[in-house]
């Protein structure tokens, strides 16, 4: 919609309105006590029955409901029986009330679900063997669990050709179950309003307004995660991998200001995709920007061409030789970017000649378009973690002076070109040029590795386990997802080796 501010405001307004409509937003008072399948439970006022049932240990199947989107009750899959009420109720829009007796698996509820499944499968193609969603498809899972196993459909199924919604998203309308999650996302979260429902009845279809694409939507990839079936697929991941081969490893998004929790889906020592890893009660973690999502390609390094040798003055050298050259050069300062893990950087700090010779760097700013998704303007997400470990940010000019004056002779730099601004890159280059000895550790080697006196092949963040502290003071861990090639080591190991070698070297 022209003029619409693409931020979370529209989402908040829509969700507040929807929750108010069902009376859940301003619910106050004592905690309602209710019985779910004869289990007594007390929940917060305003809790939806769907959530209350989950808390009591009963998973209710659902398609259209999503914690970050307004409730609409379109799929009718989440119906439960409430004793004393003549009709079944949709648990995604019914509040838990005091004294309620809820039956999630009564014959009426089971029958209703089987009926819904039969309707949903009426036009759904049996193309699971070639569908990207197979293995994580709610329609597949629920039809096994709740379907009747029969179909009374004798008419030919509705057929559409798949369509590109731009370069990132492909839609296969045959598979769509009209849950409208994707449409609500573009209305309530991205505010870009490309998707809509066209036509009625059997002709109902999800499409874009006037042939628009989703290319201008910086959050477009999220509609693929939201789609409970394989109707919306990612051009990037489509037909690349069967999901049951993938092992999800908990990590963080290094390309968001908040280092949001994500899954790195791994197989054969390669990452095949990044996905959000939602934290309970934190709806902003349900989504990620496309610029983060597709950034896994950056870490897909070819082991045959990746530098895996330590170099000292252009010649291959051992870690001990590099450590000795560093020790001989004289007082050393350590510069580390605030996008590296706390453990790695803290160990590297042990190489600094004095505690005040630890400097933080990184000036990458991400434009804020969705405040609730990205509350910090500072793209250097571990700035706080490093500052707490004694690293001083904003003092690179001071270091340059101290290097030029000869007070600091050697510089150890942990760097990733992606997170330095042009101005900062210039100062860092001046520091490297002025230093008598420079040792650069770049997971993805760049110009600084070329100009340094020595360089070590270091692992990327996906190849190590570490943690960061966000701007809000929240600790986030990430696990090793990939094995580095032979010769390439995590920063922690290099720091330990260098310190050990300098302690044992003859003075
Ligand atoms: S495309 Fe997927 S998310 Fe969108 S309405 Fe259809 S099933 Fe739901
Ligand atoms: S989840 Fe309740 S009606 Fe769809």
Q: Please tell me whether residue 130 adopts helix, strand or coil conformation.
A: helix
Does the CB atom of residue 170 touch ligand 1 within 6 A?
no
Which of 24-33, 408-417, 449-458, 478-487 is the least confident region? 24-33
Atom of ligand 1 nearest to the CA of 177: 7
Query: Looking at 240-254, 259-273, 308-322, 365-379, which range is the least confident one?
Result: 365-379
pTM of the model: 0.90
CA-nearest residue for atom 8, ligand 1, is 179
Residue 353 CA to residue 390 CA, distance in Å, equals: 13
- What tokens appear for 145 in the block? 């669990």
Q: Which two tokens stand for residue 447?
A: 């110009």
Task: Give the pLDDT score at 289.
Answer: 94
The average pLDDT across 172-190 equals: 95
Give the angle 221-301-442 at the CA atoms, nearest 5°. Answer: 105
- Alpha-carbon distance 471 to 337, whole Å? 15
* CATH level 3 topology of 311-504: Rossmann fold (3.40.50)
Q: Is 73 in the pocket of ligand 2 (CB under 6 A)?
A: yes
Provide the mean pLDDT of the chain: 91
pLDDT at 6: 40
Q: Is residue 212 scored above 80 in pLDDT?
A: yes
With 80 as the cut, is the pLDDT of residue 19 above it? no
% the chain with pLDDT above 70? 93
Give the model's pLDDT for residue 29: 73
- Among the residue ranges 282-296, 363-377, 422-436, the one predicted with the least confidence is 363-377
Pairing of strands 358-361, 392-393: parallel
Which ligand 1 atom sits closest to the C-alpha of 178?
A: 5
Report CA(64)–ligand 2 centroid distance (Å): 5
Q: Is the pLDDT of residue 170 over 80?
A: yes
Query: Among the atoms of ligand 2, which is closest to the Cα of residue 179?
Result: 4
Ligand 2 centroid to 71 CA: how many Å? 8
CATH top-level class of 1-245 = alpha beta
Interval between CA 64 and ligand 1 midpoint (Å): 9
CATH 3.10.20.740, the chain: domain bounds: 1-245
Instruction: State yes or no: pLDDT of 469 exceeds 80.
Output: yes
In the reported structure, the alpha carbon of residue 39 is separated from the centroid of ligand 2 by a whole-number distance in angstroms of 23
Residues of the chain with CATH 3.40.50.740: 311-504
Per the structure block, which two tokens stand in for 260?
């949001």
| Residue 18 DSSP SS3 | helix
Which ligand 1 atom is at minimum distance from the Cα of 175? 7
Q: What is the mean pLDDT of residues 400-418?
A: 96
Render pLDDT for 96-116 as a digit per residue (tens, 0 to 9). Answer: 999 999 999 999 999 999 999
- Residue closest via CA to ligand 1's atom 3 equals 227
H-helix segments, 90-180? 107-122, 138-146
């Amino acid at each position: 919609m022209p003029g619409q501010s693409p931020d979370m405001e529209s989402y908040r307004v829509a969700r507040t309105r929807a929750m108010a409509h069902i009376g859940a937003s301003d619910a106050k008072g004592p905690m309602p006590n209710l019985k779910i399948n004869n289990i007594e439970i007390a929940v917060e006022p305003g809790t939806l029955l769907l959530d209350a049932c989950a808390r009591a240990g009963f998973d209710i199947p659902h398609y259209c409901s999503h914690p970050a989107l307004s409730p609409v009750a379109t799929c009718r899959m989440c119906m439960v029986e409430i004793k004393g009420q003549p009709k079944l109720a949709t648990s995604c829009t019914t509040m838990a009330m005091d004294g309620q007796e809820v039956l999630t698996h009564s014959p009426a509820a089971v029958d209703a679900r089987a009926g819904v499944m039969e309707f949903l499968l009426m036009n759904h193609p049996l193309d699971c063997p070639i569908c990207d969603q197979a293995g994580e498809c709610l329609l597949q899972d629920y039809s096994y669990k709740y379907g009747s196993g029969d179909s009374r459909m004798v008419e030919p199924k509705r057929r559409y050709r798949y369509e590109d919604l731009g370069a990132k998203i492909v839609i296969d309308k045959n598979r769509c179950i009209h849950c409208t999650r994707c449409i609500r996302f573009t209305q309530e979260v991205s505010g870009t309003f490309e998707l809509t429902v066209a036509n009625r009845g059997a002709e109902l279809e999800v499409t874009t307004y006037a042939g628009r694409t989703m290319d201008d939507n910086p959050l477009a990839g999220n509609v693929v995660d939201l789609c409970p079936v394989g109707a919306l697929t990612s051009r990037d991941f489509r037909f690349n991998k069967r999901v049951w081969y993938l092992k999800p490893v908990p990590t963080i998004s290094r390309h968001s200001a908040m280092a949001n929790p994500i899954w790195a889906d791994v197989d054969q020592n390669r990452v095949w995709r990044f996905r959000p890893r939602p934290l309970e009660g934190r709806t902003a973690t349900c989504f990620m920007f496309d610029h983060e999502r597709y950034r896994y390609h950056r870490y897909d390094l070819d082991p045959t061409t990746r530098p895996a040798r330590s170099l000292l003055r252009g010649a291959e050298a051992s870690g001990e030789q590099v450590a000795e050259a560093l020790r001989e050069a004289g007082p050393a300062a350590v510069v580390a970017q605030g996008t590296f893990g706390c453990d790695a950087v803290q160990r590297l700090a042990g190489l600094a000649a004095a505690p005040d010779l630890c400097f933080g760097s990184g000036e990458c700013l991400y434009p804020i378009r969705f405040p609730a998704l990205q509350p910090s303007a500072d793209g250097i997400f571990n700035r706080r973690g490093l500052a707490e470990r004694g690293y001083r940010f904003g003092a690179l000019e001071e270091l340059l002076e101290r290097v030029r004056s000869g007070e600091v002779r050697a510089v150890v730099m942990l760097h990733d070109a992606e997170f330095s601004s042009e101005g900062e890159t210039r100062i860092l280059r001046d520091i490297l040029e002025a230093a008598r000895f420079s040792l650069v550790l770049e997971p993805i080697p760049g110009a600084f590795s070329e100009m340094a006196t020595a360089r070590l092949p270091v692992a990327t963040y996906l190849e190590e386990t570490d943690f960061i502290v966000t701007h809000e003071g929240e600790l986030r861990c990430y696990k090793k997802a990939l094995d580095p090639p032979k010769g390439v080591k995590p920063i922690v190991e290099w720091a330990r080796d260098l310190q050990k070698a300098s302690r044992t070297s003859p003075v």
